[in-house]
A and B are shown apart, each in its own frame.
Chain A
């Protein structure tokens, strides 16, 4: 069966002309392959080892999350957002809570804001750590780096578990605050984890930055220009690897981020190496934010008592709220008609939109590079397929 590339007459100019030279081999990469990070398929046309065309195919995990969200109450969607990007349930919760808070004009207590920042930055740490592990694993550094990364991730997941009761499906935040308060012993443990993290980062960075094979596999691979990155709606570390200074924590200043001092690391080349280093550098900044948050966090309630989260009916209207998730801009667009269920519930999934230019990144590279490029984008199929 032919893989089915579709060419329409009015196609705009693409990075590659659609004229095919010589004999091309059409191959289906995935969906069942460890380095496709889930059930993800790419239809590629190969000229020897070189990729001449690439069409991503997904939907294997599609369960119409948005439809389910429209048939559920506002609170009922909160645990379901955990399942979008199952690595970062805390930031998913925050993005959804932020949108509902915008929709209904809800204030959040100060301590809850601090807890949200702490948990979001811990999420960023564990997401970026595991990404680096997976990426090295994709490149053939089988096992060891991934285990190092997962060892650190476990410590953060343990923190999540003792706070929310679940390691990955946290369901911790609510519109108007957080579900439970973190005790003094939890703070102490979290501080300890954050304090021990730079030592691991030093070790890990030494492992990757001076490794000749890694440099050869990532530098000048999957380059993308800043103009195309902006036009294609790339967000997060991938966008900043192209040198575009756009971090929603700075631009929107949502929550209490304006209170913290941190820098936004920027890349230069927009290749896989920059994308990889962007994660390592962002983790350092996250650790800085964590230290400031631990020092500043005040006592107080974690939930706005005025909000009735059950039988919650926001006024009619619409709101789009977005946060800087570890993978990029995660947004929720809600339309309320005044009833208990949202009329429209839309997720703006960063992994899905970041895949738009996968073809542009991969053209002219070898099949082995495709896996590295895909790994450097950082996708989770739970969020891509929804």
Chain B
């Protein structure tokens, strides 16, 4: 299979306007990945699937990853005037990296028997911007896996035919695979919550959805 740099260059040429970035992978596994911008994802993925030299017809694995907000503190030397004398002192500089959610797709080619080409999509943030295009119209194998990511990470996939919770029950509110998830207060030790435990547990359960529930769930605000 051709190198990732070449794939990136050809994909950018085939889909005008697409920005693709190579994310290196330091591990000995040597599986770097392509970060694709969400506006051109479908076109790029269709190129990867239909291109005669790539033919990535098999989407094996779809994963969600949660990256929390990070703060990195570095010490920077700054010149300031102290008592009329210019001195160089060290000051901590705080840099904030906003968190985001990510989906990772492992694509292989059954026709040409090569792979994987790993592609990643990133959301704008972890709150309101958790929207990504769905790859289910291109790869049916993403259907249940994207539903699982919606369920456990809360990423809304546009263009998914049937975006509902799949492993948790429909009335459940949180997204349990998020790194800042806190389990319900009735978790494990309280089989039938009552009194104040019930009160605390209630915030994790939504009202039963009205009709079929998918629309309500997709529109809820709990992210």
A: which residues have CB within 8 A of B? 2, 4-6, 8, 10-12, 14, 58-59, 62, 64, 66-67, 102-105, 228, 230-235, 244, 246, 251, 314-322, 329, 331, 333, 335-336, 343-344, 346, 348, 352-353, 355-357, 385-386
Q: Are B61 and A4 touching (Cβ within 8 A)? A: no
Distance (whole angstroms) from the CB of B123 to the closest CB of chain A: 16
B100 located at the interface, meaning its Cβ lies under 8 Å from any Cβ of chain A in the complex: no
Looking across the interface, which residue of chain A has its beta carbon closest to that of B102?
Answer: A344
Contact of A8 among B63, B143, B163 (CB under 8 A): B163
> Residues of B contacting A105 with CB < 8 Å?
27-29
Shortest 10 CB-CB contacts between residues of A and residues of B: A317-B27, A233-B141, A105-B28, A319-B29, A6-B214, A232-B140, A59-B167, A11-B161, A102-B29, A348-B61
Main secondary structure of the interface of B (DSSP, over half): loop
Task: Give A353 to B143 CA distance when docked, in angstroms.
Answer: 9
Contact of B29 among A4, A244, A318 (CB under 8 A): A318
14 examples of A-B residue contacts, CB within 8 angstroms: A2-B212, A58-B166, A58-B167, A64-B177, A103-B29, A231-B57, A233-B59, A317-B25, A317-B28, A318-B27, A320-B61, A333-B106, A348-B61, A352-B144
Q: Are B57 and A62 touching (Cβ within 8 A)? A: no
B159 located at the interface, meaning its Cβ lies under 8 Å from any Cβ of chain A in the complex: yes
Given A62-B168, A103-B29, A333-B63: A11 and B162 interface contact (C-beta under 8 Å): yes
> Residues of B contacting A233 with CB < 8 Å?
58-60, 139-142
Q: Encode B101-133 as 1/0 by CB contact (under 8 A) with A.
A: 000101000100100101000000000000000
> Residues of B contacting A2 with CB < 8 Å?
211-212
Q: Kindly identify, within residues 11 to 56 of chain B, every residue whose CB is under 8 Å from any CB belonging to chain A.
A: 25-29, 31
Q: Are A59 and B169 touching (Cβ within 8 A)? A: yes
Contact of B161 among A10, A64, A317 (CB under 8 A): A10
> Residues of A contacting B28 with CB < 8 Å?
102-105, 315, 317
B4 located at the interface, meaning its Cβ lies under 8 Å from any Cβ of chain A in the complex: no
Looking across the interface, which residue of chain A has its beta carbon closest to that of B106?
Answer: A320
Contact of B177 among A10, A66, A322, A343 (CB under 8 A): A66
B92 located at the interface, meaning its Cβ lies under 8 Å from any Cβ of chain A in the complex: no
> Residues of A contacting B215 with CB < 8 Å?
6
B176 located at the interface, meaning its Cβ lies under 8 Å from any Cβ of chain A in the complex: yes
Contact of A67 among B106, B164, B176 (CB under 8 A): B176
Size category of the binding interface on chain B = 35 or more
Looking across the interface, which residue of chain A has its beta carbon closest to that of B213?
Answer: A4
Q: Are A353 and B27 touching (Cβ within 8 A)? A: no
> Residues of B contacting A232 with CB < 8 Å?
140-141, 143
B65 located at the interface, meaning its Cβ lies under 8 Å from any Cβ of chain A in the complex: yes
> Residues of B contacting A67 with CB < 8 Å?
176-177, 181
> Residues of A contacting B143 with CB < 8 Å?
232, 356
Q: Encode B136-178 as 1/0 by CB contact (under 8 A) with A.
A: 1101111111000000100000010111111111000000110
> Residues of B contacting A246 with CB < 8 Å?
58, 110, 113
> Residues of B contacting A314 with CB < 8 Å?
27
> Residues of B contacting A10 with CB < 8 Å?
159, 161
Looking across the interface, which residue of chain A has its beta carbon closest to that of B59?
Answer: A233
Looking across the interface, which residue of chain A has its beta carbon closest to that of B163?
Answer: A8
Task: Give A64 to B169 CA distance when docked, in angstroms.
Answer: 13
Q: Kindly identify, within residues 159 to 216 of chain B, every residue whose CB is under 8 Å from any CB belonging to chain A.
A: 159, 161-169, 176-177, 181, 211-215
> Residues of A contacting B26 with CB < 8 Å?
315-317
Q: Are B168 and A353 touching (Cβ within 8 A)? A: no
Q: Are A231 and B214 touching (Cβ within 8 A)? A: no
Distance (whole angstroms) from the CB of B205 to the closest CB of chain A: 16
> Residues of A contacting B139 with CB < 8 Å?
231, 233
Distance (whole angstroms) from the CB of A356 to the closest CB of chain B: 5
Task: Give A2 to B26 CA distance when docked, in angstroms.
Answer: 51
> Residues of B contacting A321 with CB < 8 Å?
29
Distance (whole angstroms) from the CB of A2 to the closest CB of chain B: 7
Looking across the interface, which residue of chain B has its beta carbon closest to that of A353?
Answer: B141
